[in-house]
Structure 1
């Protein structure tokens, strides 16, 4: 199953790409794949990130991802 992964802010810097395609059944599986592909720096960032799946906040890492869906990786950030 193909998933589009979009990175924002510090997650983008840690991954070194703005967007990529991955294949995973759950957010947990996706996180593991992304950490393996991009290394320890992204792995550390992912532990603090929030995820949107097709625009909806996802908190259950074991929930299935929709085929063809989009996962936004959002690190914590502050605004004024």
Structure 2
């Protein structure tokens, strides 16, 4: 499925882009594609990231991605 991937904070820095289109059937497939496309630094960041699919936290990486959806890549945030 075609989705828009949006990167935030450290994930954005590791990917080198703010957002990009991608085509994957599941979140697991998408993570693999992004790591391959952007290299080892993003791959490391992705292991610590949370993902939102159309604004909802995705916990099952085998859930199908919705066509035309948005996947937000959120690294851990520090703050208080």
TM-score, length-scaled by structure 2:
0.98
User: Aligned to 1:47, what secondary structure does the other structure show?
Assistant: helix
Q: Does 1:17 align with 2:34?
A: no
Equivalenced residues, count: 80
Q: CA deviation at 1:79?
A: 1.6
Q: What's the Cα RMSD here?
A: 0.5
Aligned position for 1:49: 49
Q: Runs of 4 or more off by more than 2 Å in structure 1? A: none
Aligned positions of 1:1-80 closer than 5 A: 1-80=1-80
Which runs of 5 or more residues in structure 1 are unaligned?
none
Which runs of 5 or more residues in structure 2 are unaligned?
none
Question: In 2, Cα distance between the equivalents of 1:23 and 1:3?
Answer: 6
CA deviation string 1:11-50 (max 9, x = no partner): 0000000000000000000000000000000000000000
